[in-house]
Structure 1
């Protein structure tokens, strides 16, 4: 896979797309760690970015808290200790975990592994920090 169009085709075939725009897809990922637990979900934005007007990248971003409702130092410390892929940013009112990858010569596991890691980490952070399942 090396183009945005090929990645979009893969995402449409593999995930539940909840919003589909030319430069951005939103998917909903479901989590259930234990059969007795209630299912949780995480909304993920997958967007095409162009670096320096020539290089295509894909950005994976998922919100996990309202930035104004949390202690940012505590959140960033937790991310620093537990998260392998992605970094935290504030986007609008939201605290978001995101990761970006170049599309050129991208293998499918180079997309799916970070997607799962970022989404799983954001879901865990949301549960630990807010105690809710809003995103």
Structure 2
């Protein structure tokens, strides 16, 4: 069973970390041409909502409060700077992750459960989130802010 500590050990030897906290790792990875992209990997628990965000009764029924998850997310743009409809259409074809908003920023996010296959199932979505977020940022803003 892979743990958060196992995952941290896995990524620390493969990628340069720009900031590290108890439950969060931040990286800046090269993408295409002269572009790079910020990516955040953080530990999460199912049903551990954020303040002001209520978990519905239906979601709580199927939630496993003991299940640990890893969220891989990368910023795309500030909420007010992009056409959200276009952003959703551009992100739609991806088999990995989806768009979310956090602290006023549109992010591309994918979550994987920590478990027996967590380390094997980490690399592909990690790389996909980075590249898809960078492509979205470029298509929607024309900039490389994140």
Q: TM over 0.5: same fold?
A: yes
Tell me the number of residue pairs that the alignment of Structure 1 and Structure 2 aligns: 129
Report Cα offsets for 1:58-101 as digits up to 9, x if no partner.
Answer: 00011011110111111111111x32201101111110000100
For residues 53 and 61 of structure 1, the distance between their equivalents in structure 2, rounded to whole angstroms, comes to 21
Indicate the RMSD between aligned Cα atoms, in angstroms. Answer: 1.3
For residues 4 and 118 of structure 2, the distance between their equivalents in structure 1, rounded to whole angstroms, comes to 13
The structure 1 segments of at least 4 consecutive aligned residues displaced by more than 6 Å after TM superposition are: none
2:63 aligned with 1:68, yes or no?
A: no
Instruction: Compute the displacement of 1:21 (Å).
Output: 0.4
For residues 119 and 2 of structure 2, the distance between their equivalents in structure 1, rounded to whole angstroms, comes to 10
Report Cα offsets for 1:10-59 as digits up to 9, x if no partner.
Answer: 11111110110010111111113xxxx3x211111100012243111100
For residues 117 and 109 of structure 1, the distance between their equivalents in structure 2, rounded to whole angstroms, comes to 15
2:20 aligned with 1:20, yes or no?
A: yes
TM-score, reference length from structure 2? 0.83
Greater share of helix: 1
Structure 1: runs of 5 or more not aligned: none
Structure 2: runs of 5 or more not aligned: 47-63
